[in-house]
């Protein structure tokens, strides 16, 4: 998506979809409306060579980025070298525009949790995450964009709130941010903070990509919580957050819609991409109006 | 060691190994010359993929199946006709429009595969795939021919020299002549595959990208997922629909025995009903109302005797 203001500035935002086998026909038939495709890296780590090679066929059609879910970067425990090497091999084969991972821990004491879990927000996890990011950069050849995660439980033993903790990691590690707006919305809803205030404190110049998704209300620990399940449509609030973001981020944004099941017809997903484009356009317009006003 | 000094059986063994080496070299050189990265083609076009996989007939089969599923063609047993409310311009792709034109009057699904007038519809697919290096273009075909000619020359020269030596010594050379012919025929057969190496690899990649359809197909219902059905048929073939909710699709192209065996077979006692009931054109469709379940199936699977008796 290209936005132009008085011939002065051009920001080409991109909007895409997470690759899922179930969506293959819909995605490959509508590449004129899908700018970029995000592939789950872990699905391919141990896949037969022919499957990884097929990904190159996909990357010949459109821009492909890789998204990891199993490194467990946000931990005082070092990331497994084997996983980093698999990521490196995949990046070498696919040559993605970027790769990304979550600021979560997924294992501890040799036990796989099987879930992206929010660690205690402490100096130890900030330093552990920074150290892991440095190792990732050294082994893979580039640092990942790091993604904020959703959690149903405010991590016990935390010394920082979420945004200060994320900024603490980014201060130590030279990485960009993959800002998941539904994760932000879910956490803000569940723990009662202002998501717009959160956005204002995010280092805008470090945001490399954005995730959109949907979720549902659940009962957890006797309370009503918003669960980020990727099985529902993107709520209006998330589009509003995207517009807010586009109003302040100075560079082009890559926006990915994540859907992991209960797949609707592809047209429904494409309409959500169109709504994301509209939100981006609205935010860009506000940004340029502000810039022009300041210049005047 | 001079191989031409080898005695009969030893030379035949040498020539066998030499032939394998020459044919292997022809294949290896072709594989190297025709390989390459993944090209940018429209992977959302089922007809392009079907054409890549199986040529004109496969693209036509996919078009017929897709149009039937979308209700633009009506299948009545093995007879297909355009739906009453459908006009040709309702289809967006040239191949679909061409197929709709063909079925203004009811006809057998297999008839579309024999229609020579459809050739121009496929030219864009052929051109696209040649440009992408997935099908051999003129230069590739010439290169293949050159490699084959060099190989044939090597096989021919070696065998001719030995044949001449054998004839001068009044030894039998029949086995060597046969072996030379077999080697040349094998070399020729392996020199001109329909797809290039790159085309074969791309087809495998496409099959992998769409592998999720294999499990999805059974959750679709006729008319409910036409894009997915068309892509499934394009990637895996209409025959792969046999054990799915779209099993009827395969029957659309099953020719009657009367057509397969032509007049001579239909004149026999086994196939007599084919020729007698309606003049040999569509006995199943006419005698049983066109239902594939009670007449059409019997004709295709159990012989025309069953069809005639219904």
**pLDDT tens digits in sequence order for chain B, 310 residues long:** 788 778 888 899 999 999 999 999 999 999 999 998 889 999 999 999 999 999 999 999 999 999 998 889 988 877 888 888 888 888 889 999 999 988 888 888 777 787 778 888 999 999 999 999 999 999 999 999 999 999 999 999 999 999 999 899 888 889 999 999 999 999 999 999 999 999 999 999 999 999 999 988 888 888 777 889 999 999 999 888 888 888 777 777 776 545 544 444 333 333 333 333 333 333 333 333 333 333 333 333 333 333 333 3
The mean pLDDT value of chain A amounts to 91
Q: Are B71 and B223 in contact (CB under 8 A)?
A: yes
Residue to test with chain A: of B208, B212, B217, B226, most A Cβ within 10 A: B208
The length of chain A is 296
CA quadruple B214, A24, B50, B110: dihedral positive or negative?
positive
Torsion angle, alpha carbons of B100, B105, B110, B114, to 10:
-80
- Residue pair B282/B108 in contact by the 8 Å Cβ criterion: yes
Q: Return the higher-pLDDT residue of A184 and B38.
A: A184
Q: What is the pLDDT, as a whole number, of residue B135?
A: 96
Residue A7 has a pLDDT of 41
Strands, E assignment, chain A:
2-5, 9-12, 14-18, 36-40, 63-67, 99-102, 105-108, 111-117, 145-147, 177-180, 207-212, 216-220, 223-227, 254-257
Q: What is the ipTM for the molecules in this complex?
A: 0.85
B7 and chain A in contact, CB less than 8 A: no
Of B206, B211, B213, Cβ closest to residue A57:
B206
pLDDT of residue B273: 35
Residue A168 and residue A124: Cα distance in Å, rounded?
11
Residue numbers in B near A31 (CB within 8 A): 44
| Beta-carbon separation of B43 and A57 below 8 A | yes
Query: Which residue in chain A is spatially nearest to B198 when comparing CA positions?
Result: A57
How many distinct helices (H) and strands (E) make up chain A? 10, 14
Assess A80–B contact: CB distance below 8 Å, yes or no.
no
Residues with Cβ < 8 Å from A34, sequence gap 6 or more?
A15, A16, A17, A27, A62, A270, A273
Determine the distance in angstroms separating the CA of B203 from the nearest CA of chain A, rounded to an integer: 9
Whole-angstrom distance, CA of residue B100 vs CA of residue B88: 6
Q: Is the pLDDT higher at A8 or at B65?
A: B65
Residue A61 with chain B: CB contacts under 8 Å: 40-41, 43
Q: Does residue A4 sit in helix, strand or coil?
A: strand
Which of A42, A61, A55 has the alpha carbon at shortest distance from A95?
A55
Q: Kindly state the tokens that stand for A55.
A: 């990904």
CA-nearest residue of chain B to A58?
B209
With an 8 Å Cβ cutoff, are B212 and A60 in contact?
A: no
A24 touches chain B (CB under 8 A): yes
pLDDT single digits (tens) A123-138: 999 999 999 999 999 9
Which tokens hold the place of B213? 């359809």
User: Least CB-CB distance to B208: which of A25, A51, A61?
Assistant: A51
Strand pairing category for A207-212 and A177-180: parallel
Asked if residues A203 and A249 have their Cβ atoms less than 8 Å apart, the reply is no
Instruction: Give me the pLDDT at residue B242, please.
Output: 83
Share of chain A above pLDDT 90, in %: 77
CB contact under 8 A, A21 and B212: yes
Nearest to A22 among B37, B38, B216 (CB): B216
Q: Do residues A231 and A216 lie in contact, with contact meaning Cβ atoms separated by under 8 Å? A: yes
Q: What is the nearest CA distance from A27 to chain B, expressed in angstroms?
A: 8
How many Cβ contacts (< 8 angstroms) between chains A and B? 57
Residues on chain A touching B213 (C-beta within 8 angstroms):
24-25
The Cα–Cα gap between B9 and B215 comes to: 55
């Amino acid at each position: 998506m290209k936005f132009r203001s008085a011939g002065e500035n051009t920001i080409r935002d991109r909007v895409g979809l997470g690759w899922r086998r179930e969506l293959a026909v819909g995605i490959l038939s509508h590449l004129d409306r899908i700018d970029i495709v995000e592939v789950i890296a872990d699905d391919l780590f141990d896949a037969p060579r022919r499957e990884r090679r097929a990904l190159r066929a996909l990357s010949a059609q459109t821009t492909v980025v890789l998204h990891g879910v199993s490194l467990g970067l946000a931990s005082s425990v070092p990331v497994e070298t084997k996983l980093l090497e698999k990521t490196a091999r995949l990046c070498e084969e696919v040559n993605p525009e970027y790769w990304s991972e979550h600021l979560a821990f997924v294992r501890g004491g040799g036990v796989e949790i099987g879930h992206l879990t929010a660690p205690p927000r402490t100096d130890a996890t900030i330093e552990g995450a920074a150290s892991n990011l440095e190792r990732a950069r050294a082994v893979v050849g580039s640092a990942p964009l790091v993604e904020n995660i959703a959690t149903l439980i405010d991590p016990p033993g935390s010394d920082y709130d979420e945004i200060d903790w994320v900024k603490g990691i980014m201060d130590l590690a030279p990485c960009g941010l993959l800002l998941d707006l539904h994760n932000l919305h879910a956490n803000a809803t569940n723990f009662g903070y202002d998501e717009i205030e959160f956005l204002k404190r995010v280092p805008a110049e470090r945001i490399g990509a954005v995730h959109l998704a949907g979720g549902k209300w659940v009962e957890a620990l006797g309370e009503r919580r918003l669960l980020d399940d990727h099985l529902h449509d993107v709520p209006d609030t998330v589009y509003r957050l995207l517009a807010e973001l586009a109003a302040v981020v100075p560079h082009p944004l890559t926006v990915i819609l994540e859907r992991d099941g209960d797949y609707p017809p592809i047209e429904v997903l494409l309409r959500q991409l169109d709504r994301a484009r509209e939100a981006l356009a609205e935010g860009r317009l506000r940004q340029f109006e502000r810039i022009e006003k300041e210049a005047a | 060691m001079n191989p031409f000094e080898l005695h009969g059986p030893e030379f035949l063994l040498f020539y066998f190994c030499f032939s394998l080496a020459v044919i292997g070299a022809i294949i290896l050189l072709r594989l190297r010359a025709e390989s390459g990265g993944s090209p940018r083609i429209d992977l959302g076009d089922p007809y392009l993929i079907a054409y890549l996989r199986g040529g004109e007939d496969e693209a036509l089969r996919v078009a017929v199946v897709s149009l039937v599923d979308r209700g633009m063609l009506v299948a009545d047993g093995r007879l297909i006709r355009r739906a009453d409310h459908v006009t040709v311009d309702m289809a967006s792709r040239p191949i679909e429009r061409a197929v709709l034109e063909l079925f203004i009057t009811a006809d057998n699904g297999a008839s579309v595969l024999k229609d020579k007038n459809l050739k121009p519809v496929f030219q864009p697919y052929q051109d696209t795939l040649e440009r992408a290096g997935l099908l051999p273009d003129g230069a590739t075909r010439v290169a293949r021919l050159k490699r084959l000619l060099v190989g044939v020359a090597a096989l021919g020269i070696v065998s001719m020299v030995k044949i001449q030596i054998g004839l001068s010594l009044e030894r039998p050379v029949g086995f060597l002549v046969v072996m030379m012919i077999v080697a040349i025929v094998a070399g020729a057969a392996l020199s001109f595959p329909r797809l290039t190496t790159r085309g074969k690899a791309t087809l495998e990649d496409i099959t992998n990208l769409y592998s999720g359809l294999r499990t999805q197909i059974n959750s679709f219902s006729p008319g409910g997922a036409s894009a997915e059905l068309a892509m499934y048929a394009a990637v895996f073939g209409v025959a792969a629909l046999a054990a799915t909710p779209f099993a009827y699709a395969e029957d659309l192209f099953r020719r009657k025995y009367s057509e397969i065996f032509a007049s001579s077979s239909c004149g026999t006692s086994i196939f007599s009903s084919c020729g007698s009931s309606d003049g040999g054109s569509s006995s199943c469709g006419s005698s049983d109302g066109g239902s594939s379940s009670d007449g059409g199936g019997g004709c295709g699977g159990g012989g025309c005797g069953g069809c005639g008796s219904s």
